[in-house]
């Protein structure tokens, strides 16, 4: 049974080549993905170098934390930490008070310590 608060993963400093389909494909091995968003810069017509992946189960987002440390996506190293996100796209009341996961993507060629 899905929890009342889905698991969030935020990915930052994404390479230009990364789109919602690529993010989905990269994270779906960790669990059922409910939604993927890469907000667009309307003036530039490209994503703002970050995106959000929402899992149906919070535990699946935790699995990302356990398995993605040091992983690369288009040459950028992933680093995970916990966050308390604000509502995304007018999300459900209370999401901001629930812990979730954030995946930050470091600059190209960077390696996590």
Q: Pick the most confident of 38-42, 78-82, 100-104.
A: 38-42
Which CB contacts under 8 angstroms, 24+ apart, belong to 60-68? 60/7, 60/30, 60/31, 60/32, 61/6, 61/7, 61/8, 61/9, 61/30, 61/31, 61/100, 61/101, 62/7, 62/101, 63/30, 63/31, 64/9, 64/27, 64/30, 64/101, 64/103, 65/101, 67/30, 68/103
Per residue in 28-56, pLDDT (tens digit) is: 999 888 888 888 888 888 887 777 787 78
Residue 25 has pLDDT above 90, yes or no: yes
Please give the pLDDT value at position 5.
Answer: 53
The CATH homologous superfamily for domain 7-105 is RRM (RNA recognition motif) domain (3.30.70.330)
Q: Which of 46-50, 67-71, 81-85, 104-108 has the lowest mean pLDDT?
A: 104-108
**Dihedral over Cα of 50, 75, 34, 3: its sign:** negative
- Report the candidate in 113, 89, 110, 86 with the shortest Cα–Cα distance to residue 13: 110
């Amino acid at each position: 049974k899905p929890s009342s608060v889905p698991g969030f993963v935020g990915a930052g400093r994404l390479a230009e080549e990364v789109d919602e389909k690529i993010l989905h494909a990269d994270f779906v091995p960790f669990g059922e993905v409910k939604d993927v968003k890469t907000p667009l810069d309307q003036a530039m017509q490209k994503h703002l170098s970050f995106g959000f992946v929402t899992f149906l189960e919070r535990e699946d987002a935790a699995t990302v934390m356990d398995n993605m440390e040091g992983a690369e996506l288009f040459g950028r190293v992933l680093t995970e930490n916990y966050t308390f996100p604000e509502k995304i796209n007018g999300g459900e009341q209370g999401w901001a008070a629930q812990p979730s996961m954030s995946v930050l993507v470091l600059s190209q060629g960077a390696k996590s310590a």
